[in-house]
A and B are shown apart, each in its own frame.
Chain A
């Protein structure tokens, strides 16, 4: 049996390293393996170097680093499955999140925004990038890789722009247009011209391109249709005009001579209460305390919706409305019949309601009207 010296081991280690095996644990395995073979098969006074060279050559077909490559491939193959699993889970979660989140949103249950936000972030920052990594492995040509990359960027921008839109964050529209632009002017042309050259894929390419262009067209139409924002702007104008009217009326001198202090106080309280409720509605809809005059420029939109959680039974917004009703009733007992606040067509009418059914705009307008009625009495604009 041959005995291998330390120098010879160094020689083997450096030779295996030079042959391109860089993973330490694999190197150790190969060194030990080749040493075992040499020790068991070489005569005590045999030629170490030539025996080593012939032995190491039996380890591979062309090059020794094939072993390392094979090892790495098996290891990444494992990652491949993990990534695929994560991708499928995150995709499923996102889809489930979209469905559950939108149901929550419609029902005004708490947590809707959080679910939608998570799903969107999940799909655009986990699912799509993973899809990209896994897909690029499956395709071979640079052109195909480019297609996958462009497709992924489009997907990410598209879902992020929807996310921004839902949360009224700035830049949503721009992102949306860029996404559509990428799809229309990059993805579709590359897809079309690469597919049409191949007779086998020609027909399919034409059909798919037409469908894609139609889809872009429809999505683009949606962009202009989204001027439901115009409707919201209009409503917001009305609201701001109402506020202005209230401010101006408050500047007119009060007709104190004809009213008792109790009524003056109650009037103040009612007007203040209305203001508070309005503020809650505005915060609920926009996240801001008040709507600035240049709301259009800043893309601040008060969407028409039913006021959220604060206006559920027992919540602070609802409590204020209940208080307002009581205030209106006591006001009406104090003032002349002619000056009573009309309750037939106001929020007062909604007795025993479980939650607010009026939209935020209706509610804002009702409150403005109440304030104006009160002010009109205060200023002594009597009906004789």
Chain B
């Protein structure tokens, strides 16, 4: 099952920030592959969603970029800024809290281990 883009949209920022927090510096393609691998193909981030988000994060000063030339093409690596690190914690705990609330709201029984 692949999750709908509506579901991904609201959480994409958090996903990207958390990945950058765990992997120091990443470039766009790497991020999409990492998400794909970690979620066993269940979450596939589209280019059309990822790059606008990365640019917005950059404009907000949450990530910094460094460019690396690979032959003729430029690869942009993204790294969390100090404020980005704080924001990541904030966003992750917000999402965790949100998921708890949703569980309660939608009355989802958590699987018993």
Contacts and interface: CB of A to CB of B under 8 A. Distances in A.
Interface string B1-43: 0000000000000000000000000011100100000000000
A30 B56 CA distance: 16
B13 to A, nearest CB: 10
A29 B73 contact: no
Interface in A57-94: 58-61, 66-67, 70-71, 73-75, 77-78
Contacts of B65: 25
Nearest to B70: A32
Contact of B29 (A37, A66, A74): A37
B51 A29 contact: yes
B109 interface: no
How many of chain A's residues touch chain B, expressed as a range?
20 to 34
A7 B47 CA distance: 24
Interface string B55-79: 1100110000101001111111000
Nearest to B57: A74
A58 B55 CA distance: 20
B71 A9 contact: yes
Given A36-B29, A59-B46, A59-B47, A28 B74 contact: yes
Nearest to B78: A29
Given A37-B29, A67-B47, A32 B76 contact: yes
Contacts of B29: 32-33, 36-37
A32 B75 contact: yes
Contacts of A4: 71
Interface of A is mostly: helix
Contacts of B27: 32
Given A36-B29, A75-B59, A78-B56, A10 B51 contact: no
B73 A26 contact: no
Most A CB within 10 A of own CB, among B49, B52, B54: B52
Given A71-B55, A71-B56, A25 B76 contact: yes
Contact of B28 (A6, A23, A29, A71): A29
Given A32-B27, A32-B29, A25 B70 contact: no
A71 B56 CA distance: 7
A60 B48 contact: yes
A31 B51 CA distance: 12
A107 B54 CA distance: 55
A35 interface: yes
Contacts of B55: 23, 25-26, 71, 74-75
- Please indicate which of the listed interface residues B32, B49, B72, B75 has the most CB atoms of chain A within 10 Å of its own CB: B72
B37 to A, nearest CB: 13
Contacts of A31: 73-74
Nearest to A27: B74
Nearest to A23: B55
A60 B48 CA distance: 6
Contacts of A30: 47, 51
21 contacts: A6-B71, A9-B71, A25-B65, A25-B76, A26-B55, A29-B54, A30-B51, A31-B73, A32-B75, A32-B76, A33-B47, A36-B29, A70-B48, A71-B55, A73-B52, A74-B52, A74-B59, A75-B55, A75-B56, A75-B59, A78-B59
Q: Which 9 A-B pairs have the closest CB atoms?
A: A36-B29, A74-B56, A71-B52, A70-B52, A28-B74, A9-B72, A59-B47, A71-B55, A32-B75
Interface of A: 4, 6, 9-10, 23, 25-26, 28-33, 35-37, 58-61, 66-67, 70-71, 73-75, 77-78
Interface of B: 27-29, 32, 46-49, 51-56, 59-60, 65, 67, 70-76
Given A9-B72, A67-B48, 14 more contacts: A6-B71, A10-B72, A25-B76, A26-B51, A28-B73, A28-B75, A29-B51, A33-B51, A35-B73, A59-B47, A70-B48, A71-B56, A78-B56, A78-B60
